[in-house]
Amino acid sequence: MTAISFQGSSVQPIAVHAAFDSGNIEVRRIADTSAWLELRPDPGNAFKQWFHFAVIGAAGRELTLKITDLNTSAYPAGWPGYNACVTEDRLRWDRAPSSFDANEDGGTLTIRFQPRGDLAWFAYFAPYSLERHMDLVAGSAAAEGFGHRVLGWSLDGRPIDCLECGEGDRHVWLFARQHPGESMAEWWMEGALAKLADRSDPVARALRQKARFHIVPNCNPDGSFRGHLRTNAAGSNLNREWGTPSAEKSPEVLAIRDAMDETGVDFAMDVHGDEAIPHVFLAGFEGMAGLKPHQKPGFDLYSELLAAQTPDFQTRHGYPLTPAGRGNPAMATNQLAARFGCVSMTLEMPFKDHDDLPDPVQGWSAERSMQLGRSCLDALHLWFARR
């Protein structure tokens, strides 16, 4: 790379790359410590929102990074009020001051950050790598009372890992990252699994006595590794495949649903992240026809108990209620409620800061996602006690 003049001295311009697990960025041009960038969409569709890239050669200088053409992203409403995640040690992710201008270059997010050293990594949310996933699976499978099985295989040949524990007669299914860019969902899983594996935790012990847990930390390992926002290797949005999953387009969903058919489902939580809404909330199955009398009260009770467990959860903000008879059976929460007569739900966490308890340094974070996983199990313990 040729040296250029910068403030009177001969220095190298920065370099930007995303050639790693979950990386996603395209470089348009670089000048000194400024870069103009674009997102790479998922294959075969217009989904683009996730980014994860490294900046090399910053040398402690202030960076100006512009991600352009965001008016055509999957969720343009996700950019106003959003600050990008940044790390220099790849362990703790903070927030870099960012601003969005819908009128600049097709919609531009401008990230400004001055690293202490030469290297910095930026992402839409704290990434959860495939390597960390394998560590999570191995550590959980080795815990006392836990087992592991492979439900099936992804299109790229990766296992769909399922961790199991508990001796009860009720079947609880927890699954995450149908949408791979929603990495907070697997951080949530890490917190939930740590709690369930803690033999000294009385809530965990009681839960394992009451139920059999089936936990899929990552439903979409291919999309996660490839840096996709919402789809698998075939370009399928897995949370629109639950009605008629296929080995060709959605083997991940097919494997999970077949395993659910073997065990039955009494309680299910599908863990996600929402790009635009700066709150933690639940979405239900109220639009499905033929619901059983216990299902909606069971959902409402869990919401009430979770709100009492943690101020990070609320019930005022969320998705509009789906009118009766208009529920989409291709979505997991709806399909499971209709298929098994169970209480099922989608848990959503924010990509932005959390407006109920804002944190200007980290916003909504990996650490808070893990803590929410623990709180959700505390609420489930109380839910079992009331039903």
The length of the chain is: 387
Q: How far apart are CA 175 and CA 247, in angstroms?
A: 19
Could you tell me the CA-to-CA distances from 379 to 113, 197, 332 in Å, in that order? Answer: 39, 17, 21
Backbone φ, ψ for residue 353 (5° rounding):
-65, 170
Write down the catalytic residue from 38, 182, 186, 348.
Answer: 348
Nearest residue to 124 (alpha-carbon basis) of 63, 46, 179, 62: 179
**182 CB-side CA count, 13 A:** 29
Q: How far apart are CA 149 and CA 152, in angstroms?
A: 9
Are the CB atoms for 11 and 59 separated by under 8 Å?
yes
The secondary structure of residue 78, as a DSSP letter, is: G
Bridge partners, residue 143, by sequence: none
Rounded (5°) CA angle 40-152-209? 110
The secondary structure of residue 140, as a DSSP letter, is: H
Could you tell me the CA-to-CA distances from 19 to 22, 48, 124 in Å, in that order? Answer: 9, 17, 16
Are the CB atoms for 307 and 313 separated by under 8 Å?
yes
Q: Is residue 348 among the annotated active site residues?
A: yes
Q: Output helix, strand, coil percentages for the chain, rounded to the nearest 5.
A: 30, 25, 45
Q: Write out the catalytic residue numbers.
A: 348
